[in-house]
Structures are given as structure tokens and as C-alpha cells.
């Protein structure tokens, strides 16, 4: 049967539309803008990005199939996890010690003798009367002080202050180590897209050890102690071949 020209064009357009629709469903490129499934192109782009992401994520997993790399990576993770645990413990001890030191200082201040204006004063080992800042009180004012005999000495007061200063410095050291060494180390060791090289892993292990403050070293498990659960701190690695 011979169709009029218009009918032929309509039939051809319908066949082309049907073919384009099937191609969009199958995710095939037609060279034309998607008309029936407007999100198809975006879907294909998303699939491509996901494939690339999977390839990146598998990079570290592939490296870990090498026994030499795996052993070095495990050593870095072990050193990191032990350091993190020791750091958390040291920080908690410092916080507790700071709270105790602050309470001790406040107790000393509460028991201090007072000048008429309410200023706290203390006698030092040479029987000088000193204010909080260490300045010596004028003898005329000293005569106005009523002593109970149980006041803390200036040396007691200064020792309590020095203790707080030292503890606060230790806390800064711990936080600096935690933020400047351990944080970046964990970021690198667990970087799935750009895993560290063997040499970099060696450097990470060395930095963890050499930069560790003494207060943190005191809390690192000794040989024979129960080791931290490395698996619990490790990254979730994608399965190979899946």
C-alpha cells in the first residue's frame, strides 16, 4: 500500500521516536537530547561517577593485597591507634588533675588572710607578707591584718598556681599533638583515594613516635599489655571483585 508523503513522514517519525525511547531505556547514546526520559543522561553520568568512585575506593584495597604494604599499613594503624588511645587517656588525666588543682588553689585562697580592702595576703618563708601578685604589703597595712595562725603560706599559694600553669601547658601539648600529628596521620592512613606510599607510612609512624609528648608516652601500653582493637578503628575497605 502506498502511503501519502505526510503519512510516510509520520510513520518514520514514530519509528524514530520508538527507537529513541528504547535507546533511552537501555541507556544507549543516540546523539540526540533525551526526550522521553529526561533524567536518563543524568542517570548515566551518575553511574559513571559511581564507577569511578568504586575504582578510587578499590585503590587502597588493591594495595592491601600486597603482604609488604599490608604489614606496613597495619603497623601504621597500630601505632596510630595506640597513640590515640594514650592521648585520650592522658587528656582525661590532665582534665582531672586540673580540676583538683583548681579546687586546691581556691581552698588556699579562701583560707588566706585579708587586708581591710579584701585583698588576699600570705606570709612567705622570710615572714614577708605578700599579695596574690607577689608584691610586699606595706608594714602599716600588715598591722591591720588579723591572723588566725592557719593561713596558707605564700609558697603554698605559688605552688598551687604553678601546678595549674604546668597542667595547662601539658594540656596544650596534648591537644597540639592530637590535632597536628594524629589527626593528619589518620587522614592519610585512611585515605582510600590516594593511599600513602610505603615511605610515607614509615614517616607517619616516625612522626607519631617522635612528636609524642612525655605525658602521652606515660600512657602508651607497654609490651605484654592488651593491645587496642585495631579493627574497630580501621576504615571499612571495599571487597575486591564485588
Q: What is the pLDDT along the chain (242 residues), one digit of tens a residue?
A: 554 555 566 566 666 666 665 665 555 555 555 554 455 455 666 666 666 555 555 577 878 888 898 999 999 999 999 999 999 999 999 999 999 999 999 999 999 999 999 999 999 999 999 999 999 999 999 999 999 989 999 999 999 999 999 999 999 999 999 999 999 999 999 988 888 999 999 999 999 999 999 999 999 877 655 444 433 333 333 333 33
> Which residues have C-beta within 8 Å of that of residue 151, sequence separation ≥ 6?
111, 112, 113, 122, 123
**Are 130 and 14 in the same domain?**
no
The residue behind cell 617522635 is: 210
**Are 75 and 107 in the same domain?**
yes
DSSP assignment letter at 242 = -
241 domain residue, yes or no: no
Tally of domains within the chain: 3
The residue behind cell 593528619 is: 184
pTM: 0.65
Q: How many CB atoms lie within 10 A of CB 120?
A: 18
242 domain residue, yes or no: no
191 domain residue, yes or no: yes
Separation CA 147–CA 165 (nearest Å): 29
| Domain closes at, from 103, 126, 151 | 151
2 domain residue, yes or no: no
Kindly provide the residue ranges of all beta strands, DSSP E only, lying in 35-190, ordered along the sequence. Answer: 113-114, 120-123, 129-131
**Are 80 and 187 in the same domain?**
yes
Separation CA 204–CA 122 (nearest Å): 51
Task: Supply the range of the domain harboring residue 137.
Answer: 113-151
**Are 81 and 185 in the same domain?**
yes
Amino acid at each position: 500500500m502506498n502511503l501519502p508523503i505526510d503519512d510516510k513522514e509520520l510513520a518514520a517519525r514514530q519509528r524514530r521516536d520508538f527507537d529513541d525511547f528504547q535507546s533511552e531505556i537501555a541507556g544507549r547514546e543516540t546523539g540526540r537530547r533525551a526526550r522521553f526520559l529526561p533524567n536518563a543522561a543524568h542517570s548515566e553520568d551518575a553511574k559513571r561517577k559511581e564507577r569511578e568512585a568504586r575504582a578510587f575506593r578499590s585503590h587502597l584495597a588493591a594495595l592491601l593485597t600486597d603482604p609488604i604494604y599490608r604489614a606496613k599499613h597495619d603497623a601504621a594503624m597500630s601505632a596510630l591507634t595506640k597513640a590515640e588511645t594514650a592521648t585520650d587517656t592522658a587528656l582525661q588525666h590532665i582534665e582531672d588533675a586540673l580540676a583538683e588543682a583548681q579546687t586546691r588553689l581556691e581552698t588556699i585562697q579562701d583560707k588566706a588572710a585579708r587586708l581591710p580592702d579584701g585583698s588576699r595576703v600570705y606570709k612567705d618563708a622570710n615572714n614577708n607578707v605578700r599579695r596574690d601578685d607577689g608584691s610586699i604589703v606595706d608594714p602599716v597595712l600588715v598591722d591591720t591584718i588579723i591572723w588566725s595562725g592557719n593561713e596558707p603560706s605564700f609558697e603554698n599559694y605559688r605552688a598551687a598556681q604553678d601546678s595549674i600553669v604546668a597542667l595547662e601547658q601539658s594540656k596544650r601539648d596534648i591537644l597540639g599533638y592530637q590535632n597536628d600529628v594524629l589527626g593528619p596521620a589518620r587522614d592519610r592512613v585512611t585515605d582510600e583515594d590516594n593511599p600513602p606510599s610505603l615511605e610515607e607510612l614509615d614517616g607517619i609512624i616516625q612522626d607519631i613516635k617522635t612528636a609524642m609528648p612525655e605525658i602521652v608516652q606515660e600512657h602508651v601500653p607497654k609490651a605484654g599489655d592488651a593491645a587496642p582493637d585495631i579493627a574497630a578503628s580501621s576504615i571499612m575497605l571495599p571487597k575486591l571483585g564485588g
